[in-house]
Chains A and B, each alone.
Chain A
Amino acid sequence: MSLNSKYKLHAKLKNKAYRDAFVSARISQTLALQARVLRQRAGLSQQELADKLGTSQNAVFRLESPRYGRHTISTLAKVASYFDVGLVIRFAPLSEVVDWTLSLNPESIDIPEFGHDRGFFEPHARIVSAKTESGAESGHKRPLPLRPAGMLGYVSNQASQVPSKAHVGLSEASGQSYADQYSTVNGSTWQRPARAPQEGLQ
């Protein structure tokens, strides 16, 4: 996030008309884009999604149109339910909206469905490369993006490489087994957050 951008935006937001337009544009454009990407990622046409939602193709067209902007909460909840994603509707300080705007990432648009929502398993997880230090593929599959379609800049940390099993001894010597440090979910390898020794849910 660019602090400069935040200052520039703050200056513009001193204008009430700009504030109103800013919030309105973010709602309409983001909803429209998210709805379209969710549908396209599912490989559905507008008509096919309409059939599944029990509505018309025109209603889906409107959902994906930033021009429309008059969706009911129940309609949005229905769409969220179909794609098995959450829906957040609440009032918020403008600064929070600006922060959100400036920290947008691919996951802000392309939302994982519940079954692929890694936030439940590894709140601080980062996807890591399966290559060993020598550059050779380890015995682990290259982490498959859980949601490969539609997104760019998928979080990866080339510096944090998954060790091959040959290196596990080093990990175990440090008191953490390979399994302690990495987990595999749906074919993807995730780095586990460090565990605090005294931490635990009793």
Chain B
Amino acid sequence: MWTFLACPAPGGGRPMNRFIADLGVEGETAFAAVVDGLRLLERKYWTRPQFDVLHGKRYQGMGEIRFDGDAKTYRVFGYFGPNKLQFTMLMGHEKKRSLKHEMDLAAQRRDFAEANTGLLYEFEF
């Protein structure tokens, strides 16, 4: 089964924990249910509508967990790794028209995470 990790921000703090804490009950329970489902599936079944890969060279190996709750749509960016059957969550956002800025920030966080794997921690709800 997959393990979900999270990465602290370079300046400290845990953006994923903060993201979850800010969700309403619908968002939080939906996210937990999606993650619980994905953790059981082979990589090839990580597809829409629960997941999608990010396209572009800058985002290689990255993807987004997709879910709805509290009348909003959310995306959680992350990447596959650092080890097999691990997915590291970097940051979550409410879906807007374009999340290009957030995707770029997530890519930077991915670089940080890959250089600081010792800081990653297992994510629990």
Q: Interface of A with B (CB < 8 Å)?
A: 5, 8-9, 15, 17-18, 21-22, 24-26, 28-30, 32-33, 36-37, 40, 64-67, 101, 104-106, 108-110, 149-153
Given contacts A150-B45, A152-B40, contact A25 B125 (CB under 8 A): no
Interface-located stretch among B7-15, B26-34, B89-97: B26-34
User: A36 CA to B37 CA in the complex, in Å?
Assistant: 12
B68 engages A67 (CB within 8 Å)? yes
Interface assignment of B119: CB less than 8 Å from any CB of chain A: no
CB distance from B95 to the nearest CB of A (A): 13
A66 engages B25 (CB within 8 Å)? no
| B38-58 interface bits toward A, Cβ cutoff 8 Å, 1 = contact, 0 = none | 001110110101100000000
CB distance from B8 to the nearest CB of A (A): 21
B33 engages A152 (CB within 8 Å)? no
Contacts of B68 in A (CB 8 A): 66-67
B36 engages A104 (CB within 8 Å)? yes
Q: Interface of B with A (CB < 8 Å)?
A: 1-2, 25-26, 28-30, 32-34, 36-37, 40-42, 44-45, 47, 49-50, 67-69, 85, 124-125
Contacts of B47 in A (CB 8 A): 36, 40
Contacts of B85 in A (CB 8 A): 152
User: A9 CA to B32 CA in the complex, in Å?
Assistant: 11
Nearest to B26 among chain A residues (CB) is: A21
Across the interface, B40 reaches (CB within 8 A) one of A9, A17, A36, A105, namely A105
B37 engages A17 (CB within 8 Å)? no
A66 engages B67 (CB within 8 Å)? yes
User: A26 CA to B42 CA in the complex, in Å?
Assistant: 20
B42 engages A22 (CB within 8 Å)? no
Nearest to B31 among chain A residues (CB) is: A25
| Residue from the set B1, B29, B67, B85 with the largest chain A CB neighbour count within 10 Å | B29
User: A154 CA to B77 CA in the complex, in Å?
Assistant: 28
A104 engages B40 (CB within 8 Å)? yes
A150 engages B42 (CB within 8 Å)? yes
Q: A24-B29, A25-B69, A29-B30 are in contact. List 19 more A-B contacts (CB 8 A).
A: A5-B124, A18-B25, A21-B25, A24-B26, A25-B32, A29-B34, A37-B45, A40-B47, A64-B49, A65-B49, A66-B34, A66-B68, A104-B40, A110-B41, A150-B44, A150-B45, A151-B40, A152-B1, A153-B40
| Residue from the set A66, A104, A151 with the largest chain B CB neighbour count within 10 Å | A66
User: A5 CA to B2 CA in the complex, in Å?
Assistant: 17
Contacts of B40 in A (CB 8 A): 104-106, 108-110, 151-153
User: A151 CA to B68 CA in the complex, in Å?
Assistant: 25
User: A64 CA to B51 CA in the complex, in Å?
Assistant: 13
User: A67 CA to B67 CA in the complex, in Å?
Assistant: 9
B29 engages A152 (CB within 8 Å)? no
Contacts of B30 in A (CB 8 A): 21, 25, 28-29, 66
User: A15 CA to B29 CA in the complex, in Å?
Assistant: 12
